[in-house]
Structure 1
Amino acid sequence: MTNSIVEGQGELKQNRAFVTLMISQAISNLGDWLHLLAILTLVGLRWNATPWEITFVTLSAALPILLTGPFAGALADRLNRKWLMIIADGARIIIVGAFIFADQIWHIYVLLILKSLFDVMFSPAKNGKLKEIVPHHQLAQAVSISSVIEQMSKIIGPALGGLLVAGFGITWCFVMDAASFLISGIILLWIPGHRVIQRVDSDVTGVEEETAGSTRVKQSFWKETLEGIRMLASLPRVGTSLLLLAAAILFLQFADSQTVILFRQLPGISGDLLGWCVAASGVGTLIAAMSVRKWKTAGHGLKMGLGTAVTGLVIGTAGLVVGVWPSAGMGAQLLLISLFAMAGAGIGFAVVPFQILLQEQTPEPMTGRVFGTVGSVMTTSNILGPVTGGLLVTSFGVIPAFICSGILLTLLGVLYLLKKPRAKTGHMEVGIPAQSVAPGEVS
């Protein structure tokens, strides 16, 4: 692979395009958490939604990602990624603003579906742009920084959302979210529209890359979509990891999608507890994201196995806490916040290694298609999980659903730990799972 670096090869902080992209991401991610917490508070605590109604809220956000992920990835590989991100931000300004006028739950469903359609357009374009502006040897650091930003938004967003809801009302969360997309779109104007890092990957991908003196080979939309699937199949570490963590996300969603229902079991529960628990989870994942690259003595499989097992133990314990300590006293709330912090750390160790692996192993011209396909696979888990969780909660109650989720995650983590590594290539472990989610980001 040949790299022609137009913009400096020094520290990432000297890469202006990367810094600009991260600033835009930080503002957009912050608005996403304001928006999600406002919806959960509105639907789950104010409208007292049923488990199935909450499940449909999750499905409305996830289903478009499943159906359109690979197509959005192919689109990101065919068109200018910068302008795709700006268009997605512009559309989401209008959609999020419309939440202010929603007064029935079906309004929430429709708006979430529309917003997710543009979320899925933005995500593969952003991931592809990251590889356009960051040299290959700095990708691991760039992905870690991006993950840290995502988790910091989970800390700041819920806290700010709680202040806005308490002081001004839920409406201001939607106003701030719409403003975040406006600012993000404006900042993206300063990102280069052209490729900064030139790569020749035609021997790997069979796709002729666009350079200053060449024009990209035009292929059918369907053919480009299928190429993303074939590329995943040709990367056994990535493909195996994707399938294994998809199972983890499936089991996690049994409980995670019904967290509001769990909290409603505590008499006199404060509406702020959800925000604090989400923030605590973000702190845990932030710590994990910052620690993954420093913990060099452990392979990806060990990190992911421990992270999944810890998450399972914590999820099961959270269900038991509510079951055996059914009071909303300060002790119970502090314990729940601590458990969510530990769960966040576990999720971080199960997610960040794969994000690094995926970025390093995917050829840049294929980034959109591969990330779109990965998003669709993970979204399948994010859809089946809440549906199964709704069935479990309706049939057996929310506490058994949490315990079941915890047991399955713990067993899956143990399987990760028991999986024998086959070999090593360079510094990357072969045959060991490590993965990244989705939310909605997915985005």
Structure 2
Amino acid sequence: MVEPSPASVAPAPRTRLLRGNPAFRALCASRAVSFVGDGITTTVLVVLAARQDGPVGVSLLLLANALPRLAGPLAGVLADRVPTRRLMMRCELASALVIGLIAATLPPLPILIPLVVLAGALATIRNPAGRSLVPVLVDAPDRAPANALFGLARTLQLAVGPGLGGLLAAGPGGIHTALAVDTATFTVSALLLTGLPVLEPTRDPAAVTGVWAEATAGLRYVVADRQVRTLILTLFVIVAFAGVDNVALVFLAGDQLAGGPAGYGLAASSFGLGMLLASVACTRFTRGRSSVALLVIAIASSGAGTVLTGLAPALAVALVAQLLAGAGNAGENIGYDTVIQNVVPRPMLGRVFGTLGTAAQLGAGFAYLAGGLSVHLVGARATFVLAGAGTLAVLLVLVPVLRHSPQPDPDCCAD
């Protein structure tokens, strides 16, 4: 193993999260700013593509943004072999360069698409790198609250980024101004990362081979380890079931429950509010508690909320059900991250998180295809009930495998 020198790395903090942990505070602040930038990026580039090429342009742009996220195992290799602060800072600065180039030129679609692919690839690399740092910077009992703070940062991508991007695109300077602000977010994020210690890979340099070989080794580890394999497969299934919410909700809330566009908007906001409230609650009440229990409760809440949405007799009931489903979704994110950080050795964390991200992306893609077909064949209500039942059924597989999950070693991920 490559051990960093005492002068280059601060010891893993033993104080409580943000207040007494400047390194973790810097990481959270950087990721929050970067996630807002990601939300602005998607919104503004969709507006640009729609103006230039209509619906076809928007579809191609979203596809270009999503495709690199399927390369999570390769991105995880970089997170495992490159010093984390250097890797994340370079990704943020490269993102600023890409978005700044788009802002200056507003290129046509044939040039815009490769730039969007590059931006998506940089985001794919940042994600496992940031998540793999949590067990290095915080105590083992604080991993769940720390991941909850990360969940709050991710929520900003959905709650703040799109609205801010839309307002900037509609204001003075239009898309040019919006993308200039977007460029600044990635630059600020890179500057915030200077608050991280220098963290070297915890591996023997002789073990470093090629990127493809190491990605293959990561996939072999996932396949061979029963707990990790089950976690990744069940996440794919959960996202594949729960993701139909994005397709079916507009038909249920807007049409069958007679809520119209406002009803659909309220239902979608209820889901987001549930995510926000659950993330806040987990920052306060999960310290030292079982991450497996958190994950099981979250999956049960997500499945129950989805079923109740399908059975809701009125819009008000559907709003409460969506609140429960959103809370479960946030808990799932926190639970999966924490369990993986507890059972996977640090030299493999980047590749496992990269694979986990790819599984989620594949599950979402499946949900978008299957959700539309299911709504067409059996209707929105039955689609929600089937999706919720499928989510709950995952517990029959997951619980027996994780029942004897080892407790985290406080020093297992420290440098």
**Smaller-chain TM-score range?**
0.7 to 0.9
Displacement of 1:356 after TM fit?
A: 1.0
Could you tell me the percent identity over the aligned residues? 24
Q: Which residue of 2 aligns with 1:202?
A: none
Distance in 2 (alpha carbons) for counterparts of 1:38 and 1:259: 25
1:138 maps to a residue whose letter is D
Between 242-251 and 353-362, the greater mean CA deviation after superposition: 242-251
Deviations 1:238-278 (A, max 9, x none): 321321221221234445268889999899968xx86x876
CA distance in 2, matches of 1:41, 1:75: 32
Structure (1 or 2) with the greater helix fraction? 2
Cα gap change, 1:346 to 1:8, in 2 (>3 Å) = closer
Equivalent in the alignment of 2:161: 157
Residues 283 and 162 (structure 1), Cα distance of their counterparts in 2 relative to 1, 3 Å cut: farther
Taking the aligned partners of 2:248 and 2:360, their CA distance within structure 1 comes to: 19
Picking from 357, 368, 374, the partner of 2:339 is 357
Change (3 A) 1:189 1:313: same
Equivalent position of 2:364 in the other structure: 382
1:308 and 2:308 matched: no
> Once the 2 structures are TM-superposed, how far is the Cα of residue 115 of structure 1 from its aligned partner?
1.2
The match for 1:290 is 280
Corresponding residue number in structure 1 for 2:411:
none
**SS at the partner of 1:9?**
coil
Question: 1:93 is matched with which residue: 93, 96, 101?
Answer: 96
**Residue aligned with 2:195, SS:** coil
CA contact (8 A) 1:253 1:385 kept: yes
DSSP 3-state at the match of 2:340:
helix
User: Which residue of 2 is the match for residue 128 of structure 1?
Assistant: 132
C-alpha displacement at 1:369, in angstroms?
1.5
Residue 71 in 1 paired to residue 65 in 2? no
**Among 379, 402, 407, the residue aligned to 2:385:** 407
Cα distance between partner residues in 1 of 2:317 and 2:111: 35
TM-score normalized by the length of structure 2: 0.76
Deviations 1:131-162 (A, max 9, x none): 33334443233222212222245333344345
Which is worse superposed, 413-422 or 345-354? Answer: 413-422
State whether structure 2 residue 137 is matched by structure 1 residue 116.
no
Quick one: distance in 1 between partners of 2:111 and 2:317?
A: 35
Aligned amino acid, residue 180 of structure 1: T
Counterparts of 1:37 and 1:257, CA distance in 2: 19
2:202 to 209, 216, 219: 209
1:189 and 2:203 matched: no
Instruction: Extract unaligned runs of 5+ from structure 2.
Output: 409-415
Q: 1:258 to 1:32 in 2, by over 3 A?
A: farther
- Residue 170 to residue 253, structure 1, CA distance change in 2 (3 Å): farther
Corresponding position of 1:218:
208
Structure-2 change in CA distance of 1:268 and 1:10 (3 Å):
closer
Distance 1:338 1:178 in 2: 38
Question: Could you say what secondary structure the match of 1:299 adopts?
Answer: helix
Relative distance call for 1:268 and 1:406 in structure 2 (3 A) is closer
Note if 1:81 corresponds to 2:84: yes
Unaligned runs of 5+ in 1: 196-207, 322-331, 429-443
| Preserved contact between residue 155 and residue 283 of structure 1 (Cα < 8 Å) | no
**Contact 1:315 / 1:405 at 8 angstroms: preserved in 2?**
no
Change in CA separation of 1:283 and 1:46 when aligned onto 2, cut-off 3 Å: farther
Corresponding letter in the other structure for 1:299: A
Verify the 8 A CA contact 1:74 1:224 in the aligned structure 2.
Answer: yes
1:22 aligns with 2:28: yes
Q: CA RMSD in A?
A: 4.3
Aligned residues: 392
- Quick check: 1:248–1:308 contact (8 Å CA) kept in 2? no
More off after superposition, 31-40 vs 290-299: 290-299
The 2-side partners of 1:31 and 1:116 are apart by 12
Contact in 1 for aligned 2:12/2:139 (Cα 8 Å): no
- How far did residue 171 of structure 1 move? 4.7
What's the CA shift string for 1:6-41, capped at 9, x where partnerless?
A: 254222232221111111111111222223344556
Pick from 246, 259, 263 the counterpart of residue 236 of structure 2. Answer: 246
Q: For the structure 1 residues 130 and 41, does the alpha-carbon distance in structure 2 shift closer, same or farther, using more than 3 Å as the test?
A: same
Does the CA-based 8 Å contact 2:132-2:341 persist in structure 1?
no
Distance 1:74 1:19 in 2: 25
- Residues 180 and 71 of structure 1: is their aligned pair in 2 closer, same or farther, counting only changes over 3 Å? same
Is structure 2 residue 4 aligned with structure 1 residue 11? no
Structure 2 residue identity aligned to 1:371? F
Residue 148 of structure 2: aligned partner: 144
Q: Which amino acid aligns with 2:87?
A: L
- 1:105: Cα distance to partner? 6.0
Q: Distance in 2 between matches of 1:312 and 1:136?
A: 32
> Any residues of structure 2 matched to 1:23-42 within 5 Å, and which?
23-39=29-45
Task: Evaluate the alpha carbon distance shift between residue 153 and residue 372 of structure 1 in structure 2; reply closer, same or farther with a 3 A threshold.
Answer: closer
- Deviation of 1:218 after TM superposition, in Å, equals 2.6
How many Å separate the matches in 2 of 1:264 and 1:180? 35
Answer with 143-152 or 402-411: which moved more.
Answer: 402-411
CA distance change for structure 1 residues 29 and 262 in 2, over 3 Å: closer, same or farther?
farther
Q: Alpha carbons of 1:220 and 1:24: their partners in 2 closer, same or farther (altered >3 Å)?
A: same
Distance 1:91 1:390, change over 3 A: farther
User: For residues 220 and 159 of structure 2, what CA distance do their matches in structure 1 show?
Assistant: 37
Report if the CA contact (8 A) 2:144-2:282 is conserved: no
TM-score for the superposition, normalised by structure 1: 0.72
